[in-house]
Amino acid sequence: MSDTTVNTPEQPDASVARLDDLLGYARAHAATGDSRVWVDDLQRMLAIAWDLMTTDQRVQFREHPDMLALIEAAGNSSAAP
């Protein structure tokens, strides 16, 4: 019988824990000085993840409901204020 365990928010899998670690490193880096470092670190992390994604993964990411909500909240503009 195969293991069909579904990871729930109460029981995150190892990849979630590693993501939390990465986000924690960015927070810790920002705590050493300027808090804008955190945003810079997060932007670099996202750029690395984007580079590792396939075209299909990029489309799925871009079309995720949370991303669409963020895009809508930004007024469909990627320009900085």
| Count of beta carbons in the 10 Å neighbourhood of residue 71 | 13
How many domains is the chain partitioned into structurally?
1
Between 58 and 25, the more confident residue is 58
Residue 79 lies in a domain: no
Whether pLDDT at 76 is above 70:
yes
pLDDT band at 64 (very low <50, low <70, confident <90, very high): very high
Name the H helices within the chain.
14-31, 36-52, 55-62, 65-73
Residue 8 lies in a domain: no
Q: Which domain covers residue 26, as residue numbers?
A: 14-73
What pLDDT score does 5 carry?
A: 42
pTM of the model: 0.66
Residue 24 lies in a domain: yes
Q: What are the tens digits of pLDDT across the range 5-27?
A: 444 555 566 666 688 888 888 88
Residue 19 lies in a domain: yes
Residue 6 lies in a domain: no
